[in-house]
Amino acid sequence: MSGRRVLLDAGNTRLKWAVVENGHWHATGLSDYADWSALKAQLQADTACFIASVADAAHEREIAAFMETMGLVPSWLSAEARFGGVENTYSNPRQLGVDRWMGLIAARQRTDEAALVVSVGTAMTVDALSAEGVFLGGVIVPGVQLMRQALRHGTARIDEVAGAWQAFPRATADAVHSGIVAALCGAIALQHARLAEVAGMAPRCLLTGGDAGEILPYLGMPGEHVPALVLEGIDGVARGTIAS
């Protein structure tokens, strides 16, 4: 596919987007659902638009209404049983979150090695992709903010004071933040070890999502920060040229 296209990764709280024209990435951005101006400036009448959304129904209606006002008919993507050399082994392939599916496709575009695809957002997903391109499965855990909210709502004397990571915290705010980081890193490390055992070698670890930067310094293993990983997958589907 040639020409101009806009890629949208619609999350629970924000929209990530990119503009690709004739194979070149011209612009990327991050918008919330209250301000469409930056995205609007990138849209033209002949712009092809591809959306991978895990947003709620209300936000999806906002996106659809916005596209209609711009005179565009977007393609809403979903997970499939197979694409671009990646096999989706979910018992119901369409039940897999489309953002996770796009991340797996993008990982396959980047490497033919086994890969652990980690997205640290509202929730954190940790997905295992074999060297043969088979999605082996993945886990979902609450992300940084959800864990923090759970502690504030479920326990006494946990307030909203921001903490910092410490190996041995000696203040409650630091203990909360450090515990969240430890829990998320632990989930990644466990899945990394499981995939390494299956693959017979250490898999590549690709991290994306708004809170990936909070986790990456403390992983204790090599990890690659790929902020636009989901958008890369969307672009691969839009092009439809990934080798199978």
The one catalytic residue in 46, 56, 99, 174 is 99
Q: Is the dihedral of CA 105, 106, 112, 113 positive or negative?
A: negative
Contacts of residue 108, defined as CB under 8 A and 6 or more positions apart, other chains included, come to: 84, 85, 86, 115, 129, 133, 242
CB-based contact 38:53 (threshold 8 Å):
no
Exposed, middle or buried, 23 (CB in 10 Å: 0-12/13-18/19+)? exposed
3-state secondary structure 78-94: CCCCEECCEEECCCCHH
DSSP H helices, 11-160, are 37-40, 57-69, 98-110, 144-154
Number of neighbouring beta carbons within 10 Å of residue 84: 20
Active site residue 32: no
* Beta-bridge partners for 27: 19
CB-based contact 120:144 (threshold 8 Å):
yes
Q: Please work out, in degrees rounded to the nearest 5, the angle formed at the alpha carbon of residue 118 by the alpha carbons of 115 and 121.
A: 165
CB-based contact 10:59 (threshold 8 Å):
yes
- Residues with catalytic function: 99
